[in-house]
Amino acid sequence: MAISSALWSFALVVGLLTLTPGLDTALILRTSALGRRRRAWGVVLGIQTGTLVWGAFTSLGVTALLTASHLAYTALRWIGAAYLIWMAARMLRDTFRGLPTAVADDSLPAAGADSVGGGWRQGTLTNLLNPKMGAFYVAVLPQFIPPGSSHFTMGLLLTSVHILIGLLWSAVLIGFARVLQGRLSKPQARRALDRITGTVIGVFGIRLALGN
């Protein structure tokens, strides 16, 4: 397989994965729709930082050791699930208590001030605590590395393709969310958004805990 063919083929695979609605999509849309554009981009950069780390670790063979170790994989899975469920529970709790949206947001690691740094930390944690990302890279990345090429260099190049696609799609999501921002100015609409997002995050956390 030529390098150019490997890049295009991998781009198709991760492109379809990126377009599939999931936890990352929910976090980006929710943060941006609440008017926190800088934080939304922080979330995006954090997610892509996690992707870069998983790609680099896979290229070095580290994640292969993780997935081969049932204990390590299970521990990371439970930590990630606990983080997501905790985040979802706090988000849902505050909306059903009828607290003002600003107060509810400030109590969450998912929200808070409109800062790139806060969003970056949340996005990075969410990605790195998802062992399925590591399992995906271990299963898929080696298949697109041409024989005779540097495993680490080619792995990082493929990961860069994934990051680029993720950034482009995130820009589309943030732009779409800004269109909805005016409709979410009312507290009732914001609470509804938090309930939807909290439910999505909670479902992902439960599925991760169950190993689905």
Q: Render pLDDT for 158-197 as a digit per residue (tens, 0 to 9).
A: 999 999 999 999 999 999 888 777 666 567 777 777 788 8
For the chain, which ranges sit under pLDDT 50? 100-112
pTM: 0.78
* 190-203 as b/e: b if 16+ CB within 10 A: bbebbeebbebbbe
How many whole angstroms separate alpha carbon 156 and alpha carbon 59? 7
Q: Tell me what percent of the residues of the chain surpass a pLDDT of 90.
A: 27
What is the per-residue pLDDT for 20?
Answer: 82
What is the per-residue pLDDT for 105?
Answer: 42
Please give the span between the terminal C-alpha atoms of the chain, in angstroms, as a whole number.
33
Containing 162, the helix (H) or strand (E) segment is helix 151-180
Residue with token string 């390590």: 72
